[in-house]
Amino acid sequence: MNSMLDFTKPEIQATPATDASNEAGNEKLTVSLEKQKREITSTRQVGGQPLTETVASDTTAPGHTEPGHPSQANRIRVPSRDNARLAAVIERVNSDIELFTLWKCANINAVDRLGISDHGRVHVQIVANIGLKILRLLRAAEVKSSIAQHHAGSGMTEQDAEVVVVLGALLHDLGICVHRDEHEHHSLWLAERKLRELLDGIYDIEGRTIIMAETLHTIVAHQRSQRCLTIEAGVVKVADALDMAKGRSRIPFEQGHVNIHSASAAAIESIELSAGETKPVHIQVKMLNSTGIYQIDELLRKKIQGSSIKDYIELVAKIEAETEQKLISGFSF
């Protein structure tokens, strides 16, 4: 595709928010992962009343049953709002058979061959939604994205940061179709070609190149030990870590892999994202028992501290079960 798309045409315009109060700071995103169902809901105020909407919902399944073809039932769904370029990119994603097949191949390696939690289409959709929510909370608190700061002369804006975060989330685990080990680096060469296809005609050559470079950085930097150089990379890293609730441990448990990792993951009931009181992003983790502290302290906290957005996050974990309250009632940093 050589011609640029005209973003004034109504057919590629994203649907704008229908209520003036539908701003990032007034919304709460909840990730709830039950044994058989994974769901993301968004709660916002409409006419003074809370309205809860399902952003995405899927049942968990073995990797080989992951759909290799896009359909209306398994479309990637993210709230593009008035971001026409993001809406156009997602439309491209949802017609890309190769991309859906790569997610399936990654999930076969992860689930069927390694016995770990899924890293396919459902996972990346959850990460994309969480990442977009975090980025919008940061923007509501006037934290500027790196692409808008450093590429303003090339016309890059906060909406382009949304494209980077969503694409980084959708493509960050593609390399698992090659191997779980060093998958971040395998993802780079797979994503580079795919980014050219997804962005062609939506951006000019300069814009496409900038988006590609920024997105590839988010992919390689989602590794826990890799330093994040941009706000967007930090967002993707933290969003990836937050897909950790109890449904993520179902497959390792069923295959007999019971250890502190799977047990602590099973203790995470749900995750809620909202505007914080002292910092832009408030993360609340609801735990069923105290083993979940390992998941938070050893895994999530280290990813947050290794990100570029650690100074903008407040994290609170609470235990819901009455029997555990005698041991510990909460955890925060």
Predicted local confidence at residue 321, as pLDDT:
66
3-state secondary structure of 218: helix
Residues facing 282 on adjacent strands: 274, 314
Higher pLDDT among residues 128 and 61, named by residue: 128
What is the separation of C-alpha 232 from the centre of its chain, rounded to a whole number of angstroms? 11
**Which residue in 76, 134, 130, 85 sits closest to 103, CA to CA?**
76
DSSP 48-111: TEEEEEEEEEEE---GGGS-SS--STT------TT-HHHHHHHHHHTT-HHHHHHHHHHHIIII
Q: Where along the chain do its domains lie?
A: 10-332
Predicted local confidence at residue 136, as pLDDT:
97
- 207-226: per-residue pLDDT in tens? 999 999 999 999 999 887 88
Amino acid residing at 263: A
Lowest mean pLDDT: which of 5-9, 183-187, 329-333?
5-9
DSSP 150-199: HSGGGT--HHHHHHHHHHHHHHTTGGGGT-STTHHHHHHHHHHHHHHHHH
Secondary element (H or E) of residue 31: strand 28-33
**Contact predicate 234/143, CB 8 Å:** no
What is the rounded CA–CA span in Å between residue 229 and residue 166? Answer: 17
**Contact predicate 315/333, CB 8 Å:** yes
Q: Is the pLDDT of residue 71 over 60?
A: yes
Residues facing 274 on adjacent strands: 282
Predicted TM-score (pTM) of the model is 0.81
